Amino acid sequence: MSETLVEVRNLKQYFPVKVGIAKTIPLKAVDDISFTIGKGETLGLVGESGCGKTTAGRSILRLYKPTGGEVLFNGELVTEKNITHMRKKMQMVFQDPYSSLDPRMTVEDIIGEPLDVHKLCANRKERRERILELMEIVGLNAEHATRYAHEFSGGQRQRIGIARALAVNPEFIVCDEPVSALDVSIQAQVINMFEELQQKLGVAYLFIAHDLLVVHHISKRIAVMYLGKIVEIADADELNDYPIHPYTESLLSAVPIPDPDVTRARHRIILEGDVPSPLKRPSGCPFRTRCRYATEQCAEECPTLSDRGGDHLVACWVK
């Protein structure tokens, strides 16, 4: 295990939702999650839409103020007071390359904004050279610098967003579904670019996605999230070959395999019912209403992550 860079301890993110005239109830988007990310490592975070993946990423960077729990970066507690100087070391690549870039700014200004905010360049010449260097790193040409975001394709826009994140030489980047809005052919280019940047710069990623094939390809370890809880964490190959939690089994059984013989032989696990509302979560285990193994204990008590050997952590009473 590499040296720990980011440590998340019992992170909670609740949003008050108004019900009635004067009553509010908490929407538990992220509920008591813990994990670590080593230096230069990629941790994949997967789960279906609405499970809290993006909220977790934003809470780690304090784009949302956490309701509870702690985040440590290089052993230092991330707080409201010190987050400003930590911004240089922790960045984010947003999901939508169309709405995350200011349409009134040129590419040069978009990539140069973090340099200006953190005063990283002594003069305009140094600033210009740094911007062109970043554009080259992500595969953009120098003549693109004076253009506006609307003049680019989705893949090129995402590269601009990545260059902006890299401008301050971060050690850790939260990648919030960075390829989900892109064509499949462009997805492969951007994924390969993330891997090349990691090899060159040693940057660590929290890679958020719902595509298990993409996550398995880029991640060293994978965490599976369901209804605000992490239900399983393991090495990427271990999780892919030997899933333990019933939810993980179901997710992996739905992954398409380009081999008709293998596909015919596989058993597809179809979950019954819909994902419960975060406002009306089931008692005990959040997955129990859709789980074929559920028992009375599952209804009474929420399982915690336990080590099943080889750092394979699972939150399940039955399996």
Q: What is the pLDDT of residues 126-147, one digit of tens each?
A: 999 999 999 998 889 999 999 9
- The alpha carbon dihedral of 278, 14, 308, 214 has a sign of positive
**Mean pLDDT of all residues in 270-293:** 85
Q: What is the pLDDT of residue 310?
A: 86
Long-range contact set of residues 135-143: C-beta below 8 Å, sequence gap at least 24 = 135/107, 135/111, 135/163, 137/163, 137/166, 137/197, 138/162, 138/163, 138/166, 138/193, 139/189, 139/193, 140/107
**Does the pLDDT of residue 163 top 90, yes or no?**
yes
Q: Which of 183, 205, 168, 228 is nearest to 26 (CA)?
A: 228
How far from 47 is each of 99, 210, 230, 247, 262, CA to CA, in Å? 23, 6, 9, 9, 24
Q: Are 144 and 88 in contact (CB under 8 A)?
A: no
Quick check: is 165 in a domain?
Answer: no
**Does the pLDDT of residue 68 top 90, yes or no?**
yes
Cα–Cα distance, 257 to 48 (Å, whole number): 19
**Mean pLDDT of all residues in 173-189:** 86
Quick check: is 98 in a domain?
Answer: no
Output the average pLDDT for the chain: 90
**Does the pLDDT of residue 156 top 80, yes or no?**
yes
Quick check: is 162 in a domain?
Answer: no
Q: What is the pLDDT of residue 257?
A: 73
Quick check: is 151 in a domain?
Answer: no
**Mean pLDDT of all residues in 294-305:** 91
**Does the pLDDT of residue 37 top 80, yes or no?**
yes
pLDDT grade, residue 2 (50/70/90)?
low
Cα–Cα distance, 303 to 317 (Å, whole number): 6
**Does the pLDDT of residue 1 top 60, yes or no?**
no
For residue 193, give its domain range: 4-89+170-314
Q: Tokens standing for 205?
A: 């990623």
Quick check: is 227 in a domain?
Answer: yes
**Mean pLDDT of all residues in 275-290:** 88
**Mean pLDDT of all residues in 75-99:** 89
pLDDT grade, residue 187 (50/70/90)?
confident
Quick check: is 155 in a domain?
Answer: no
The residue with tokens 């380009």 is 258
Quick check: is 118 in a domain?
Answer: no
Q: What is the pLDDT of residue 263?
A: 66
Judge residue 215's burial from the number of C-beta atoms within 10 Å of its C-beta, 0-12 exposed, 13-18 middle, 19 or more buried: buried
Judge residue 268's burial from the number of C-beta atoms within 10 Å of its C-beta, 0-12 exposed, 13-18 middle, 19 or more buried: exposed
Q: What is the pLDDT of residue 256?
A: 73
CATH code of the domain containing 187: 3.40.50.300
**Mean pLDDT of all residues in 256-268:** 72
pLDDT grade, residue 188 (50/70/90)?
confident
Alpha-helical runs (H) found in 219-295: 236-241, 246-253, 260-265
**Mean pLDDT of all residues in 188-202:** 90
Q: Are 168 and 194 in contact (CB under 8 A)?
A: no
Q: Which of 33, 41, 34 is nearest to 236 (CA)?
A: 41
User: Can you say how many angstroms the Cα of residue 284 is from the centroid of all Cα atoms in its chain?
Assistant: 26
pLDDT grade, residue 182 (50/70/90)?
confident
Quick check: is 133 in a domain?
Answer: no
Domain count, the chain: 1
Query: Tens digits of per-residue pLDDT, 225-243?
Result: 999 999 999 999 999 999 9
Supply the pTM of this predicted model: 0.90
